[in-house]
Amino acid sequence: MMDAKEYLKKMSAELDGPIKSYIGDEEPKVLMDASKQYPYAGGKRMRPAMAVACCRAVGGDASKAVPLAVAIEYIHNFTLIHDDLMDGDEKRRGMTTIHVGYGMPTAVLAGDALFAKAYQIIAGLDVPAEKMRDTLQYVSKAVWDLARGQQMDVNNEGQIVSEEVYLETIKLKTSVLFAAAAAGGAIIGGASEEQVKAINEYAIELGLGFQMYDDYLGIAGDSSKTGKSVGNDIRKGKCTCMVTHTISVLKDEALLKEFKSILGNLDATDEQCARAKQIMQDAGSIDYNLNLARQKVENAIAKISFLPESEDKEFMIALARYAVDRDV
Amino acid sequence: MMDAKEYLKKMSAELDGPIKSYIGDEEPKVLMDASKQYPYAGGKRMRPAMAVACCRAVGGDASKAVPLAVAIEYIHNFTLIHDDLMDGDEKRRGMTTIHVGYGMPTAVLAGDALFAKAYQIIAGLDVPAEKMRDTLQYVSKAVWDLARGQQMDVNNEGQIVSEEVYLETIKLKTSVLFAAAAAGGAIIGGASEEQVKAINEYAIELGLGFQMYDDYLGIAGDSSKTGKSVGNDIRKGKCTCMVTHTISVLKDEALLKEFKSILGNLDATDEQCARAKQIMQDAGSIDYNLNLARQKVENAIAKISFLPESEDKEFMIALARYAVDRDV
């Protein structure tokens, strides 16, 4: 089986140049610097790699999809800048976040600027205008949904929501941008409407698995690798699938009360967080979450069975499995 | 001569329905409410009216430009939401600002959501895809420039910049969105490339005049009408054309020192602000600013002399004059 991580690295290296080519030396410098910081610093580049792979997997010319890949990466980074501001996070990928480094106004503007630049790039796609329009429709709907998902996430914090609401939230917050990358790449590559729909669904399912695994890493991951302090999600009262599952299966009233008293308690000690994790583990919730994440990924893979065999199809499959099998 | 204010009111009434038709009852409600507040509350509607008028003035079907008009109004309101957050303003048009009413995260997201919705609307324009692409290029470049202009404004605060830098700032901060409305309307209306360019320049000049007159209202306007407390711009040290002019013509060292000591002093008394205004007036700076604003507007009108006579051309001329002759 293909090593998705290695292949991603290779694609990343190819995408790095284009990603660094769209923001010039315009004034004011501080805005350019702030806008460049996240996209230039790297990351997994899963979304842009997906755009290119989906284009090629349907027989398209990958070079036509590269600008879309850049646009999607800029949109992803615009949302990271604004999310970090909203969440008050001070570090990302070992860097100082934009609002901490440059102040709130510049963080708001750097996000807005990256968003605008993404659309400038899409407007300039070297494809027939009709394809550009179809791509634009996917992407702009995705950003609308992203804002909805992020607002739901804000609303959910400290609340116990149903698994259904949780899944809808992560679909909007995470899946739709993967889906815009994948569908956009496929459109540019010349896929039929039906194929675009299937590839869109592939990415939606992959995104769900990705986010559920991300939640898992937040609880059970190696914090020296993830950079996330274990217990953080518990203290913030983040309503993950693990939490909804524990709440729904736990019959022991005292245990349930204890669990709820730790969840969302900003002053919870490391011991208390470990205890909450243990309760979730004993309730089978961590396994439940992992199994559901893997199931989503298998659903994703099933959606693209129609694609002819190719290295890019292999990568799409490997990327889906990687989404739920990584340490960072 | 046409009464631009009356005509604007009439167009406003026609645009109100479309402006209120693109944001539905999706979840989460709080984000929908926050996103709707500014665009639904009204305003002068200069930008959307301009888009429609420019479409019709070149012989186009106005109904095709209405969605663009809405998109431009959403973009304008998205920037207002983010600007209010950045500036820490608590009131706008008599309403509580979004970040005060809903909190910072929802203000960031409501702006982002309006921005995304604007592009969804543009993607769905009922015009050939090539025209949609050309419109998109103007609009997305405008938003990129808006972010640059707003950052320059942030940087300029408390600084004395040259008139050249001031003009570049207000061009980016204000003119480019007027220009995207006007050029987009003209493109949709079927204007030639050369005509679009001229109409774009019309709106750039109009925007400069508009912003310079806005600065004038901030210093000399009737605060019961503008809703801006006179002295606010002086206390904030806003570098307007009046300030740059005063600094450059004032030869009396003591007077210059006094002027600079009031400018940007958040604790300046009303008397001190009145004194600073008097110094600017005596230096001829308020007249200089007004004359320059009027000159920009006459430049704007000259740019569209090629248009055949029509009610819409008349409105475009009247709107330009209204930009520098209004009390709010």
Q: Which residue of A has its CA nearest to B130?
A: A129
Helices (H), chain A: 4-19, 29-41, 46-57, 62-87, 98-102, 104-123, 129-156, 163-170, 176-188, 193-220, 223-226, 232-236, 241-249, 253-262, 270-282, 285-303, 311-323
Residue A115 pLDDT more than 80?
Answer: yes
Per the prediction, chain A carries an average pLDDT of: 95
Calpha distance B211→B181 (Å, rounded): 16
Which residue type does B86 have? Answer: M
CA distance A321 to chain B (A): 31
Calpha distance A85→A78 (Å, rounded): 11
pTM over 0.90: yes
Find where tokens 């590839």 sit.
Answer: A199
Identify the band that residue B93 occupies on the pLDDT scale cut at 50, 70 and 90.
Answer: confident
Identify the band that residue A276 occupies on the pLDDT scale cut at 50, 70 and 90.
Answer: very high
Residues in A touching B113 (Cβ below 8 Å): 144, 147-148
Mean pLDDT of A122-128: 97
Measured in whole angstroms, how far is the alpha carbon of residue B244 from the centre of its chain?
21
pLDDT at B229: 73
> Packing angle between helix A253-262 and helix A241-249, nearest 10 degrees?
160
Q: Which residue of B has its CA nearest to A118?
A: B140
Residue A229 pLDDT more than 80?
Answer: no
Here the tokens at position A220 are: 């059970």
pLDDT at B278: 96
Mean pLDDT of A318-327: 96
Are A122 and B129 an interchain contact pair (Cβ–Cβ within 8 Å)? no
Are B108 and A82 an interchain contact pair (Cβ–Cβ within 8 Å)? yes
Cis peptide before B67 (omega within 30 of 0): no
CA distance A6 to chain B (A): 34
CA distance B120 to chain A (A): 5
Calpha distance B215→B315 (Å, rounded): 24
pLDDT at A98: 98
Calpha distance A98→A35 (Å, rounded): 9
pLDDT at A222: 84
**Least confident among A115-119, B53-57, B231-235:** B231-235
A55 close to A65: Cβ distance less than 8 angstroms: yes
CA distance A16 to chain B (A): 22
Backbone CA torsion sign across A102, A108, A111, A113: negative
Residues in B touching A122 (Cβ below 8 Å): 136, 140
Burial (Cβ within 10 Å: 0-12, 13-18, ≥19) of residue A36 = middle
Mutate to test the interface with B, among A80, A104, A109 (most CBs of B within 10 A): A109
Burial (Cβ within 10 Å: 0-12, 13-18, ≥19) of residue B309 = exposed
pLDDT at A85: 97
Residues in B touching A106 (Cβ below 8 Å): 151, 154
Residue B181 pLDDT more than 90?
Answer: yes
Per the prediction, chain B carries an average pLDDT of: 96
Identify the band that residue B317 occupies on the pLDDT scale cut at 50, 70 and 90.
Answer: very high
ipTM greater than cut 0.85: yes
Are A137 and B123 an interchain contact pair (Cβ–Cβ within 8 Å)? yes
